[in-house]
């Protein structure tokens, strides 16, 4: 469980080593945004470096893992039935197991299925390369309206020295290596076409679900319900305005502008873009909002980071909550109580004597100042709590 003491978002490390349980890894949150070394070890892990700058080295270890990775990331999924979504110039290796590799999003993605019966999602990306396609593997082709299997053609490009699959003369995917005895043997059992367009609704399972806007659900105004399991939802590639319900489990959601997220039960991590609405629900949740986001911890001992975006509004809800503030004088807390805590960042050599509580001179509520500068606004404080805040409520990080 994430607590303020182990909260990693203040200065994410460049190395991450997981556990044999299910680990949650997010670039910019508990690992650096670029050039990180990540080893999740065992457990059904969920990883998202797509918000970062890439060039990470990632090992997913054993069990069934889910990963959405950044440009130029190198991923080795190791053992297990893994799902990996690759951005431009990423290198994906499924390792052992029956893996699902998405190489239809970024340019020049390279994928190696490894051992097992692997499925590659291709289309819309003629520069994608598969290094080890075998007769037991499968291709799922996106982006073709009214497809006709008769228009598929296998050819060898002598200039590029690669085998290619064409559809109506256009490159679908490249194969850098095909076993000699399998050349010309691929047929209908190896290829399938995915419907044009993406569904506006997604309903998950009680296992780990990986949901991506523009990948397996529509990019905007989608309705997503992941049900049980430790799920990962990423809608940042879409246009927002989605409605997302995460259900049970310890879930991760990195969402687009104006998305609405309800974490429901579990210790969830919710990261929202501009004007997102994040509700943690039951459990000890972590919520981070960009400009004008609204974050509500719900029931549980939650951490709300109000320091990232401008005009972020935070409600802790029931429980002993921690609010991270600083570097954002427009942040508002709606329900600060004596049992809650403030973690103040961005102040060098802090002096607690320079903290001051005042009535907001330009509106209702109160303000906390440091050396005369606003740290955070309180829209409402319970009458019985006025004047009761002290050193136990504030810390500098």
Q: What pLDDT, in 10s, does the model give residues 73-105?
A: 999 999 999 999 999 999 999 999 999 999 988
Lowest mean pLDDT among 3-17, 216-230, 344-358: 3-17
Per-residue pLDDT at 309: 85
d(CA 364, CA 339): 22
Instruction: Answer yes or no: is pLDDT of 69 > 80.
Output: yes
When pLDDT is averaged across residues 336-357 and rounded to a whole number, the result is 91
Which pLDDT score is estimated for 106?
Answer: 83
The model's pTM:
0.80
What is the mean pLDDT of the segment spanning 136-158? 91
The model's pLDDT over 161-179, given as tens digits with 9 standing for 90+, comes to: 889 999 999 999 999 987 7
- 41-55, 258-272, 290-304, range with the lowest pLDDT: 41-55
Query: What is the distance between the alpha carbons of residues 213 and 220, in angstroms, rounded to a whole number?
Result: 7
The DSSP secondary structure of 56-82, one letter per residue, reads: -EEE--SS--EEE--TT-EEE--SS--
**DSSP strand pairing (162-167 vs 170-175):** antiparallel
Extended beta strands in 117-216, E state: 119-122, 129-130, 138-141, 152-157, 162-167, 170-175, 191-193, 201-203, 210-212
Q: Which CATH architecture is the domain 201-350+381-396 placed in?
A: 3 Solenoid (2.160)
| Residue 213 main-chain phi, psi, to 5 deg | -65, 130
pLDDT > 90 in the chain, percent: 63
* Mean pLDDT for the chain overall: 90
């Amino acid at each position: 469980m994430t607590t303020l003491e182990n909260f990693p978002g203040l200065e994410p490390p460049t190395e991450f080593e997981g556990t044999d349980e299910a680990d949650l890894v997010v670039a910019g949150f508990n690992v650096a945004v670029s050039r990180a070394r990540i080893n999740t070890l065992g457990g059904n892990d969920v990883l998202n470096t797509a918000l970062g700058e890439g060039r990470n080295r990632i090992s997913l270890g054993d069990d069934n893992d889910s990963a959405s990775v950044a440009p130029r990331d190198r991923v080795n999924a190791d053992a297990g039935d893994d799902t990996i979504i690759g951005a431009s110039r990423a290198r994906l290796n499924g390792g052992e197991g029956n893996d699902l590799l998405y190489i239809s999003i970024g340019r020049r993605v390279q994928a190696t299925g490894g051992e097992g019966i692997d499925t590659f999602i291709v289309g819309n990306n003629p520069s994608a390369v598969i290094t080890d396609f075998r007769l037991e593997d499968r291709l799922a082709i996106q982006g073709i309206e009214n497809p006709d299997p008769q228009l598929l053609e296998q050819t060898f490009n002598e200039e590029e020295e690669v085998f290619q699959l064409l559809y109506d003369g256009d490159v679908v995917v490249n194969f850098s290596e095909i076993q000699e005895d399998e050349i010309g043997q691929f047929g209908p059992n190896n290829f399938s076409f995915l419907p044009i367009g993406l569904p506006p609704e997604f309903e998950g399972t009680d296992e780990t679900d990986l949901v991506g806007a523009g990948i397996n659900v529509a990019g905007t105004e989608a309705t997503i319900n992941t049900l049980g399991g430790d799920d990962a939802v990423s809608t940042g590639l879409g246009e927002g305005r989605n409605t997302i319900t995460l259900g049970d489990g310890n879930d991760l959601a990195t969402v687009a502008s104006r998305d609405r997220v309800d974490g429901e039960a579990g210790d969830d991590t919710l990261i929202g873009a501009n004007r997102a609405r994040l509700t943690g629900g039951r459990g000890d949740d972590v919520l981070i909002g960009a400009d004008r986001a609204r974050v509500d911890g719900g029931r549980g001992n939650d951490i709300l980071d109000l320091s990232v975006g401008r005009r972020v509004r935070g409600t802790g809800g029931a429980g002993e909550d921690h609010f991270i503030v600083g570097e954002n004088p427009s942040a508002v807390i709606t329900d600060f109580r004596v049992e809650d805590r403030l973690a103040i960042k961005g102040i060098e050599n802090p002096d607690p004597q320079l903290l001051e509580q005042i009535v907001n001179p330009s509106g209702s509520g109160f303000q906390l100042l440091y050396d005369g500068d606003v740290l955070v606004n309180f829209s409402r404080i319970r009458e019985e709590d006025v004047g009761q805040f002290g050193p136990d409520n504030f810390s500098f990080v």
